[in-house]
Chain A
Amino acid sequence: MQALYAQLVIGLVNGAFYALLSLGLAIIFGLLNVINFAHGALYMLGAFVAWGLLHYAGIGYGPALIIAPLVVGVVGVILERTLLQRLYRLDPLYNLLLTFGLALVIQGLFQMRFGSSGESYEIPAALQGSANLGFMQLPYYRGWVLIVSLVVCLATWFVTERTKLGSYLRAATENPALVQAFGVNVPRMITVTYGLGVALAGFAGVLAAPIFPVSPGLGSEVIIVVFAVVVIGGMGSIMGSIVTGFALGLIEGLTKVVYPAASGAVVFALMALVLLVRPAGLFGKAS
């Protein structure tokens, strides 16, 4: 039983990454109708920016938590302004292909420069060590990841669902032309939203850097699962992606106890099931 609790906690921590990443995807899909396949690559970029800040400039983990998402956000804004924007009028599949290509290019460039094994980023001194929870030793850093992700996820949900800015955002999703007529600069809002969405990925990248090797494959390993999370939660649903992210982390954790060899596949089995029963996802509304 104790082992089970421990696995559930670990699963929640992994779920935190799924939630942060799928949240960004959901926001971007909600407003831009773009399936952002570059999300994993930008998550990896966030981890590399954190590593680079420490390695080249001696800037530590704390500042990196702010700087790296900013850098990734700016990269996102540039991508949106120069590339994505040109394809909005076409079928959404074109932007899917564009971001898919971007992901391969970004990953390939890092692979050329850094190889596949990646670099090592130490856990910041203040968060080293572990706490005794009775049933397990939880490293402080994993606990930190869990709490921070929860806070960021809920804050993002609050902004989009409970503030005026969020209401513009939701209105623009429903009827961009009308919102524009009221004097809201919709194209700029779209750019900023994309920047914010990918900044969340960059933030998750910094959180991931001390746990996983900072390697070019970091994003492609997790992005497939994250897309499954988005599909299960319902495309574009903010709360759906948060809840599904954490829930799938838990389910994956349980699978690792019961039948470890299937832990890589369980998410996709669930996705197939959800698509059969509720094609719009658990939290999505069918048209």
Chain B
Amino acid sequence: MLNLPKRIADTSMAVILCAAALGSVTACKKDSAASKGSAAGGKVVIGVLTDMSGLYSDLAGKGSVAAAEMAVADFGGSVAGMPIEVVSADHQNKPDVGSGVVREWFDTKGVDVIVDVPTSSVALAVSDVTRDKNKVFLASGAGSSDLTGKACSPNTIHWAYDTWALANATGREIVKHGGDTWFFLTADYAFGAALERDVTKVVEASGGKVLGDIKHPLNAADFSSFLLQAQSSQAKIIGLANAGGDTIKSIKQAAEFGIVAKGQKMAGLLVFISDIKALGLATAQGLTLSESFYWDRDDGTRAWSKKFAAKRDGAMPTMVQAGVYSSVMHYLKAVAELKSAKDGKAVVAKMEAMPAEDPLFGKGTIDPNGRKRHSMYVYEVKSPAESKGDWDFYKLIREVPADQAFRAPADSGCSLIAKP
């Protein structure tokens, strides 16, 4: 045997420490130089808190920063005479890292509004800090409907989508077509739990049954074990209550094990266009999914998306990135009316009072619990033969109009809603 016993104990320890570090040392926290020092007196600072290098970085990440910068440029670079700045940081999908960054931003960098924040556990932590400091949080990346439910806040608006809307759109569509027994593969954190809970309600309300679930670690490498257990449950539908890289791996490996070929169907409950790009149409075709934004929906979305893609090496925007743009624009309009960004609650109240219409999400309003309301769209992924180009992925099945797409405020359990 090749043994080098000397220093083994030392090196073992070093290996363990470094291995642990390799998982986390991917930070690329970037604050623009201009924002350092001065606690922004006469300017408005937008903080994009996102996943820069992990499993959600393609669906949010640098694209979200680009979307925020596009909004600032389209608004003219200043609001009510105050210049607008964008800063960004990586939260590494960890709630403690995220709330630490946000605290520092509020206390020393003069940040007025936090946008994006994929990963619901981080978003819930950020929402708490934002309320304490009376700033504004516009969530686009996170999914948990708790952000406007039991954890709602007068300082938070939830923009692009949420787990309730996904359950209501995708879940209902699948049950309607005979998918009445379900087994869930659920990412083991706040988002996965919320998504499974919301879909379960829809399935059971429509007469379906949930046969079981598996909670898998976030960013698991191999899903085949979980998939085999899902297969042996004999549920008609395997519901993926996960996102990003986890969803990609689940679908890819399900194809490998021939699960779909044997008659079970996969339901991607949160699938982004970036996931379809990574899977390829050959694997992803036929998948039913819901989005609030698709680049090829109409002339307005196409025009904006092409501008976005030109900045991002041709990558089309996800609904999260579109949500960042749209929410920043609406925020700046409210600040322009108020002529100040300092009182977070007042800004959110103003945003809720104004109609929110733009080319990206169409007509919209904001509910008193902070839920942005617009249409959701149920799509089916095209086959390679149906697709005409690089990003031509979806065909529309139906539109869920704004008034039905999101949970009624009265049902949300949000304490801001006056009880009748």
Query: Which residues of A approach B to under 8 Å, CB–CB?
Result: 3, 6-7, 10-11, 13-14, 26-27, 29-31, 33, 35, 37, 40, 92-93, 96, 100, 103-104, 107-108, 111, 115-120, 122-123, 129-130, 136-137, 139, 141-142, 160-161, 169-170, 173, 210-213, 215, 217, 220-224, 227-228, 230-231, 234-240, 253, 256-257, 260-261, 263-265, 271, 275, 279-281, 283-287
B contacts with A, residue count (CB < 8 A): 63
Cα of A240 to Cα of B4 in the assembled complex, Å: 13
Closest chain B residue to A232, Cβ basis? B12
Is the CB–CB distance between A27 and B2 below 8 Å?
yes
A32 nearest in chain B by CB position: B4
CB < 8 Å neighbour of A120 from B188, B216, B232, B283: B283
- Within B207-261, which residues are at the interface with A (CB < 8 Å)? 214-217, 219-222, 224-226, 228-229, 232, 244-245, 248-249, 252-253, 256-258
- In the complex, 5 of the A-B residue pairs with CB atoms within 8 angstroms, ordered by the A residue number, are A111-B57, A210-B256, A231-B12, A235-B11, A256-B226
A238 & B228 in contact (Cβ 8 Å cutoff): no
Q: Is the CB of A240 within 8 A of B248?
A: no
A93 & B5 in contact (Cβ 8 Å cutoff) = no
Closest chain A residue, CB of each to CB of B1? A237
- CB <8 Å contact, A139 and B16: no
Q: Which of B216, B224, B256 contacts A260 (CB 8 A)?
A: B216
- B245:A96 contact, CB within 8 angstroms: no
A-B contact count (CB 8 A): 198
Chain A residue numbers with a CB within 8 Å of B385 are none
Contact partner of A123 (CB less than 8 A), chosen from B2, B54, B245, B256, is B256
Does B279 touch A at the CB level, under 8 Å? yes
Q: Could you say which of A141, A173, A234 contacts B256, with CB atoms under 8 Å apart?
A: A141
Which residues of the partner chain A approach B221 to less than 8 Å between Cβ atoms?
14, 212, 221-222
New A-B contacts (4) at CB < 8 Å, excluding given A284-B8, A285-B3: A108-B53, A231-B16, A234-B8, A265-B217
Which A residues are CB-close (under 8 A) to B162? none
Known: A123-B256, A237-B2, A237-B3. A287 touches B22 (CB 8 A): no
**Which of A111, A116, A170, A231 interacts with B2 by CB under 8 Å?**
A170
B116 at the interface (CB under 8 A from A): no
Q: Shortest distance in angstroms between A267's beta carbon and chain B's nearest beta carbon?
A: 11
B12/A275 in contact, CB under 8 A: yes
B255 CB → nearest A CB, Å: 9
A92 to B12, CA, bound (A): 12
- How many Å lie between the Cα of A213 and that of B20 in the bound state? 23
A286–B7 CA distance with the chains assembled, in angstroms: 10
Contacts of B40 in A (CB 8 A): none
Q: Which residue of chain B has the shortest Cβ distance to A173 in the bound complex?
A: B2
Contact A285 B5 (CB under 8 A): yes
State the CA gap A40–B23 with chains docked (Å).
Answer: 12
